Amino acid sequence: MYLHLGNDYIVNVKEIIGIFDLEKSSVSKYTRDYLANATKEGRVVNCTMELPKSFVVALDEELTERVFISQLACATLRKRMDIISI
């Protein structure tokens, strides 16, 4: 099954490592450094042109880590995952 992250972006649910609130988690220096390094390495996929609210970390089949920036709130993405798992 796939999780819709906003706009035309989807990710396989089995590939998701975590869903994080951007505002709350970016308070940490470690998270800011992680996101900065992911951006430098070209692993960030921006799924929105609006104000981002969350980011999703996923591993694809080749074990390449990707970070998806989404305008959807963590709670919304979590509800969508719950619906998928039913």
Q: Would you list the DSSP string of 6-18?
A: ETTEEEEGGGEEE
d(Cα 32, Cα 81) in Å, to the nearest integer?
26
Query: pLDDT grade, residue 85 (50/70/90)?
Result: low
Say if residues 17 and 58 touch (Cβ distance below 8 Å): yes
- pLDDT at 86 > cutoff 60: no
- pLDDT at 73 > cutoff 60: yes
Q: What's the confidence (pLDDT) of residue 37?
A: 97
Interval 54-79 mean pLDDT: 93
**Domain count of the fold of the chain:** 1
Q: What's the confidence (pLDDT) of residue 74?
A: 93
CA-CA-CA-CA dihedral for 13, 14, 17, 18, to nearest 10: 20
Residue range 7-64, pLDDT digits in tens: 899 999 999 999 999 999 989 999 999 999 999 999 999 998 899 999 999 998 888 8
- Find the domain containing 41 and state its range: 2-85
